[in-house]
Structure formats: C-alpha cells, structure tokens
Amino acid sequence: MGYATEALYTSIVFGFERLGLTKIIMQTDEKNEAMREWCEKTAGLKVAWKNDVQINGYEYTQCGYTFTIDEWNRAIKQKLEMKMNNIIASRARQPKPTNI
C-alpha cells in the first residue's frame, strides 16, 4: 500500500533536485485508471492533453500531465508528503507478524 506514491515522489524529487529539471511530463494510457487516479486525486494534477496513438497495431488514448518546479514546490510536494506520512502511520498501526 502506498508504494506508487513513494516511488513517484522519489522520482520527481530526483528529477527536480538532482537533475535540475524545471518541468516534468507524465503520460499514461487512458485505461490505466490507477495511474490516472494517482495523478488526478493524489497529486492533484489535471489532464493537460489526450492523444490517440497507434503502436504496433494497438490503438489507445494517451493522457498527459505536466507540472513545473514552482507548482511542485507550491502545492504538489506538500500534498504527496502528507499522503506518505499517512501511509507510514497506517503501516505502524498494523500488527507485526509473529514467529511460530
């Protein structure tokens, strides 16, 4: 639970803080509901574009999301950190497995 948020947060921080990026673009298949929900509800992003794409005979609609380092610092980073803190707190409340 919550590993996508941790992985994406770490990747975004790496992009902005280590690589010096000023903008991040994310793309996913429109049918990838889990990723779209993460982008839209967890990170608070809005779909920036939709493109119909055909690769190797497979047609799908691509959803794109984009945000700048200023948007990240102003709102998105704090939102994701709060989400991760909630995840960590819920893990701490889970019973620990016992050895038999």
What CATH number corresponds to the domain at position 11? 3.40.630.30
Q: Is residue 78 part of a domain?
A: yes
Q: Is residue 97 part of a domain?
A: no
pLDDT tens digits for 65-84?
Answer: 999 999 999 999 999 999 88
How many contiguous H segments (helices) and E segments (strands) does the chain have? 4, 3
How buried is 22 (Cβ within 10 angstroms: 0-12 exposed, 13-18 middle, 19+ buried)? exposed
pLDDT tens digits for 8-44?
Answer: 999 999 999 999 999 999 999 999 999 999 999 989 9
Q: Does the model's pTM come out above 0.75?
A: yes
| Count of structural domains within the chain | 1
Q: Is residue 54 part of a domain?
A: yes
Q: Residue 77: give the domain boundaries.
A: 3-87
Q: What is the pLDDT of residue 89?
A: 83
Q: What is the mean pLDDT of residues 35-60?
A: 95
Q: Is residue 24 part of a domain?
A: yes
Q: Is residue 43 part of a domain?
A: yes
Q: Is residue 81 part of a domain?
A: yes
